[in-house]
């Protein structure tokens, strides 16, 4: 889940190739890489610089590593080797602990606040910690590099007085206490927006302290507890304070960056971006490189012959010592499931999972050590798992990755398993899901998160790769799974119907995973520059062009019916129909599968709320067809168009489906044993809020703008067709003379409110569609809404007020008043 991809703690097994640091804690004092730069050192007799023994006294507690950290009383000192000045470091700031509600509940422990590259520089008797950016580059040999440096001058985060020289004068001692106890914005957990929202006045240094500082061969980890005075804190308001624990990580980057691989938007990879001012193009050239681990074959000649070869340094994940024993086999299998995909790229044993070493096996093992990548098992009620990584901003090389598994996450998967597959899958019809099934779910979630850590983003188009009815076939699903990649949010097979035999219900690796790993990780020994790789990489893509198994779609924008989160199957209408049929079978059994077994309503309430959410997702999948635009990622050398509107026939049919399944009164959701036992009065409001959400979505400015484009693209289903079909369907009782029930009355009022918004409310910013601004005043949208409201007004006056049902009559009279005020807002 993507949104969010940075985590607490540090671990990395991968030993960086270009570092001379050793792995033993005992040898950490000498574990620094040589530098090609030298700097004239100040003399200890110079003003302000004391002797080493005066600063680092015999009472000092020292921790050798990348820098030696000394604690003397309440002060912390860094002893920085001269060889590490001017070296590139990556500084990552993350939340370690935070108060409830911070950031509206969307920020978690482990969330990254900032990543920046830094260097240490000496100027006279000071050491400067300065940021460094690779977002603007030019080769040092080119004259323009002088301008790049002059016009991209980086700020100094802090200036430290040199307190002393090292014993052998090979380094510098600085006091870092004040730095970590000051409100340095670049490493703070409180953004300007949070400071404004919570009315933060200042950092209270008297209530702030350094909790710990640890040095490892490749990284330094510091934890600070920071307390701020705040007039309106997100929680514990009586204290007038916000306390945070921040984790500051500083990681040494390889002296020689890995050769990067140029990104191609037709294959999904996380990436880094740089502006190359040394390009021969007539403008600054943007270079985009993928994020990936450094994998190089041990035997290049055997690799060239097509043999499977082990990498020089495999990707290794250690399990957290806190991981329950019964879950360990599934977690390790989830990691190593990627081995098959790496074999497609020519590597064997490229990724491994190991139990945590004992102190006897590895006395230096520590999850915070950047040499170790760890799958952390967190005792938290959070229902989530995340798979972030940290990469070298110069090349995209992934340096380290921690996978976070939160203890309660399997509860979410159990619930979805019951709701989405319970109609056809007997194993799912219980709160006590069999361990084998839970283990399979955990295995696949770990595989998904490892995929992120390998550089792969979500590919939401992969769930539309398979024909919908193929998902009802046991033979097909057992071989191909339910989507073409594990990186989609295709969690369960909700298409399978009762009676379908041998069907797979849980996702798995698919053909796209093999394809994308081969594209990103295959070693190309004959290419000496990133540009020399491009012809081969493009050829691989174009060989798969037009094959839905190998297409990529991010799911962003909400316009492509083939690229949606949580969907499966090529035909979204058919898939949602199957899913809805299953949900209608599950709803009447929900009480029997929960409260009747536990003699408690907690699980029933939770699952019923989630059932409403599943129903809403099925609706949303179909709604995307209306005003939908398919996106096919192409380069100019390939035939065809990138954007193609959904056919008129499919858009109209989808609107018919929505009027039948989304906007009618959902009596099947009213289960008396549920609604009358979990809340006093919320059934009508719950349904109203979901229906109105989809109604407003259909009548969004962006969707209406896409429908207007259908006119010029000769699609045949335009904004007037859609609004008229929607309005006629929503107000069908006016034409038939039937009473209007409470669900429909609510929905019709919501329609009028949305019409008023589109006609009379100017958005604070112009609406956007595909990045272009939409001017509502100068578009057909207001003309269509006004015209259709006038038509509705005439119909209501003609037939609507004759109803014998008193509530219906009052509702129609109220609607007429509302319409009059919408059309004549000056009368309000």
pLDDT digits (tens, 9 = 90+) for 533-583: 999 999 999 999 999 999 999 988 889 999 999 999 999 999 999 999 999
Residue 470 clears pLDDT 70, i.e. is over it: yes
Question: If phi over 0 gives left and psi between -120 and 50 gives alpha, with beta otherwise, what is residue 629?
Answer: beta
In which element (H, E) is residue 789 found?
helix 780-798
Distance, CA of 504 to CA of 417 (rounded, Å):
12
User: Cβ–Cβ contacts within 10 Å for residue 69, how many?
Assistant: 23
If asked whether residues 248 and 330 sit together in one domain, one would say no
Range of the domain at 797: 672-827
Q: Is residue 269 part of a domain?
A: no
Q: Which of 559, 593, 627 is the last residue of a domain?
A: 593
User: Cβ–Cβ contacts within 10 Å for residue 401, how many?
Assistant: 28
Residue 6 clears pLDDT 50, i.e. is over it: no
- In the structure encoding, which two tokens stand for residue 794, read together? 């005439």
In which element (H, E) is residue 438 found?
helix 435-453
**Predicted confidence band of residue 799 (pLDDT cuts 50, 70, 90):** confident
Per-residue pLDDT at 763: 66
| DSSP letters for 509-521 | --HHHHHHHHHHH
Distance, CA of 300 to CA of 302 (rounded, Å):
6
**Predicted confidence band of residue 96 (pLDDT cuts 50, 70, 90):** confident
Residue 16 clears pLDDT 50, i.e. is over it: no
Distance, CA of 679 to CA of 776 (rounded, Å):
42
If asked whether residues 701 and 818 sit together in one domain, one would say yes
pLDDT mean across residues, the chain:
88
**Predicted confidence band of residue 99 (pLDDT cuts 50, 70, 90):** confident
**pLDDT tens-digit profile of 632-675?**
999 999 999 999 999 999 999 999 999 999 999 998 998 888 98
Per-residue pLDDT at 26: 38
Backbone angles phi and psi of 582, in degrees to 5: -65, -40
Q: Is residue 516 part of a domain?
A: yes
Per-residue pLDDT at 378: 73
The more confidently predicted of residues 484 and 236 is 484
- In the structure encoding, which two tokens stand for residue 712, read together? 């010029």
Provide the number of structural domains found in the chain: 3
Distance, CA of 457 to CA of 634 (rounded, Å):
19
Per-residue pLDDT at 34: 36
Q: Is residue 219 part of a domain?
A: yes
Average pLDDT on 434-456 reads: 95
Enumerate the β-bridge partners of residue 567.
none
Q: Is residue 812 part of a domain?
A: yes
Residue 819 clears pLDDT 90, i.e. is over it: yes
Q: Is residue 630 part of a domain?
A: no
Going edge to edge, which strands form the sheet with 402-406? Answer: 351-354, 315-319, 373-378, 402-406, 385-386
Q: Which of 200, 220, 252 is the last residue of a domain?
A: 252
**pLDDT tens-digit profile of 23-52?**
333 343 333 433 334 445 555 555 679 999
Per-residue pLDDT at 8: 31
Per-residue pLDDT at 575: 98
Q: Which residues neighbour 805 within 8 Å (Cβ) at sequence distance 6 or greater?
A: 739, 740
Per-residue pLDDT at 25: 38
Task: List b or e across 89-99, with b for residues whose CB sees 16 or more CB atoms inside 10 angstroms.
Answer: bbbbbbbbebb
In which element (H, E) is residue 782 found?
helix 780-798
Q: What is the share, in percent, of the chain residues with pLDDT greater than 70?
A: 88
Per-residue pLDDT at 158: 94
| DSSP letters for 319-385 | EPTTS-GGGHHHHHHHHHTTHHHHHHTTBSS-EEEEPPPPTTT-TT--TTSTT-EEEEEE--S---E
Residue 15 clears pLDDT 50, i.e. is over it: no
**Predicted confidence band of residue 112 (pLDDT cuts 50, 70, 90):** confident
If asked whether residues 379 and 502 sit together in one domain, one would say yes
Per-residue pLDDT at 774: 79
Per-residue pLDDT at 712: 87
Per-residue pLDDT at 801: 62
Q: Which of 236, 252, 268 is the last residue of a domain?
A: 252
Q: Is residue 477 part of a domain?
A: yes
Per-residue pLDDT at 140: 57
Residue 340 clears pLDDT 80, i.e. is over it: yes
If asked whether residues 326 and 244 sit together in one domain, one would say no
Average pLDDT on 477-501 reads: 96
């Amino acid at each position: 889940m993507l949104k969010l991809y940075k985590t607490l703690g540090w671990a990395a097994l991968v030993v960086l190739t270009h570092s001379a640091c050793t792995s033993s804690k005992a040898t950490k004092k000498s574990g620094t890489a040589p530098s090609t730069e030298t700097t004239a050192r100040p003399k200890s007799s110079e003003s302000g610089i004391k002797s080493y023994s005066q600063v680092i006294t015999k009472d000092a507690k020292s921790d050798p590593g990348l820098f030696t950290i000394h604690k003397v009383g309440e002060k912390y000192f860094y002893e920085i080797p001269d060889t590490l000045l001017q070296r590139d470091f990556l500084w990552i700031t993350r939340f370690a602990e935070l108060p409830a509600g911070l950031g509206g509940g969307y920020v978690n422990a482990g969330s990254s606040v900032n990543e920046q590259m830094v260097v240490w520089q000496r100027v006279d008797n000071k050491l400067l910690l300065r940021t460094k950016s690779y977002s603007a580059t030019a080769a040092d040999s080119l004259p323009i590099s002088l301008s790049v440096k002059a016009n991209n001058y980086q700020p100094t985060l802090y200036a430290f007085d040199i307190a002393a020289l090292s014993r052998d004068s090979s380094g510098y001692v600085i006091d870092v206490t004040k730095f970590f106890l000051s409100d340095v914005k670049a490493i703070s957990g409180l953004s300007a927006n949070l400071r404004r929202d919570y009315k933060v006045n200042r950092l209270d240094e008297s209530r702030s302290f350094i909790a710990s500082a640890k040095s490892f061969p490749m990284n330094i980890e510091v934890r600070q507890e920071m307390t701020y005075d705040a007039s309106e804190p997100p929680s514990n308001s009586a204290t007038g304070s916000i306390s945070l624990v921040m984790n500051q990580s500083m990681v040494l980057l390889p002296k020689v960056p890995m050769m990067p691989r140029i990104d191609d938007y037709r294959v999904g990879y996380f990436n880094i971006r740089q502006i190359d001012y040394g390009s021969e193009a007539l403008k600054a050239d943007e270079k985009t490189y993928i994020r990936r681990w450094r994998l190089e074959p041990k035997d290049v000649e055997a690799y060239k012959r097509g043999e499977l070869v082990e990498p020089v340094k495999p990707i290794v994940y250690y399990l957290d010592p806190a991981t329950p024993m019964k879950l360990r086999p599934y977690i390790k299998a989830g990691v190593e499931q990627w081995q098959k995909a790496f074999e497609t790229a020519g590597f064997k044993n490229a990724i491994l999972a190991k139990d945590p070493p004992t102190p006897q096996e590895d006395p230096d093992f520590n999850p915070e050590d950047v040499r170790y990548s760890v799958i952390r098992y967190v005792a938290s009620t959070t229902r989530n798992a995340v798979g972030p990584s940290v990469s070298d901003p110069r090349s995209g090389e992934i340096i380290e990755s921690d996978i976070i598994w939160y203890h309660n996450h399997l509860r979410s998967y159990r619930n979805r398993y019951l709701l989405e597959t319970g109609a056809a899958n007997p194993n799912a019809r219980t709160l006590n899901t069999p361990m084998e099934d839970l283990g399979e779910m955990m295995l696949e979630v770990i595989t998904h998160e490892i995929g992120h850590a390998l550089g792969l983003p979500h590919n939401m188009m992969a769930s539309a790769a398979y024909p919908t009815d193929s998902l009802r076939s046991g033979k097909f699903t057992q071989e191909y799974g339910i989507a073409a990649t594990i990186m989609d949010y295709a969690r369960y097979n909700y298409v399978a119907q009762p009676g379908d035999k041998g069907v797979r219900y849980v996702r798995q690796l698919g053909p796209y995973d093999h394809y994308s790993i081969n594209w990103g990780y295959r070693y190309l020994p004959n290419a000496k520059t990133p540009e020399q790789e491009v012809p081969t990489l493009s050829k691989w893509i174009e060989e798969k062009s037009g094959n839905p198994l190998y297409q990529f779609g991010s799911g962003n924008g909400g316009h492509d019916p083939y690229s949606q989160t949580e969907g499966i199957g090529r035909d979204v209408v058919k898939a949602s129909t199957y899913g809805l049929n299953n949900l209608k079978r599950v709803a009447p059994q929900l009480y029997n599968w929960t409260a009747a077994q536990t003699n408690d309503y907690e699980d029933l309430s939770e699952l019923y709320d989630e059932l409403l959410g599943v129903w809403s997702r099925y609706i949303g999948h179909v709604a995307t067809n209306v005003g939908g635009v398919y996106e096919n990622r192409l380069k100019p050398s390939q035939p065809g168009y990138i954007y193609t509107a959904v056919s008129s026939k499919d858009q109209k049919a989808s609107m018919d489906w929505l009027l039948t399944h989304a906007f009618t009164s959902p009596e099947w959701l009213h289960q008396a044993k549920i609604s009358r036992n979990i809340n006093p009065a919320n059934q009508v409001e719950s349904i109203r809020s979901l229906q109105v959400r989809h109604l407003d979505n259909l009548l969004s400015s962006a969707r209406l703008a896409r429908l207007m484009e259908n006119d010029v693209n000769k699609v045949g289903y335009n904004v007037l067709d859609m609004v008229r079909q929607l309005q006629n369907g929503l107000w069908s009782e006016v034409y038939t003379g039937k009473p209007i029930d409470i669900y429909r009355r609510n929905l019709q009022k919501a329609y009028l409110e949305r019409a008023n918004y589109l006609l009379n409310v100017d958005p604070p910013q112009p609406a956007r569609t595909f990045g272009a601004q939409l001017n509502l005043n100068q578009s057909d949208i207001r003309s269509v809404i006004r015209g259709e409201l006038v038509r509705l007004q005439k119909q209501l006056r003609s037939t609507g007020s004759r109803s014998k049902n008193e509530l219906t009559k009052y509702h129609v009279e109220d609607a007429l008043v509302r319409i009059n005020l919408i059309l004549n807002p000056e009368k309000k």
